[in-house]
Amino acid sequence: MVAPAVMQQLAQALAGLKYGAVQLVVHEGHVVRIERIERMRLTGTPEAMQSQGRPTGSPGGIEADDGEV
């Protein structure tokens, strides 16, 4: 059984997470760490657009990371 305090912290880690992962680390049957990884792809910067092969005048913003590079 997972302690209510751990469930609350897990809910906080998931809150507002649009794209990414939440990982639980378990040691001897107990959750000892919650890791949150949030992903986003930055577009619109000259460096990001050049790496994507887009001309630097292209419109851009922040997009969700769909896993493709």
Pick left, alpha or beta for residue 11 (phi over 0 → left; psi -120 to 50 → alpha; otherwise beta): alpha
The percent of residues in the chain predicted with pLDDT above 90, rounded, is 52
pLDDT at 39: 92
Structural contact between residues 59 and 14, judged by C-beta atoms closer than 8 angstroms? no
Smallest CA-to-CA distance from 24 within 15, 38, 39, 13 is with 13
pLDDT per position as a tens digit, 39-59:
987 877 676 666 666 555 545
- Rounded distance, CA 41 to CA 66, Å? 8
Say which DSSP state 58 is in.
S
Q: What is the pTM of this model?
A: 0.56
- pLDDT tens digit sequence for 29-39: 999 999 999 99
Domain ranges of the chain: 14-63
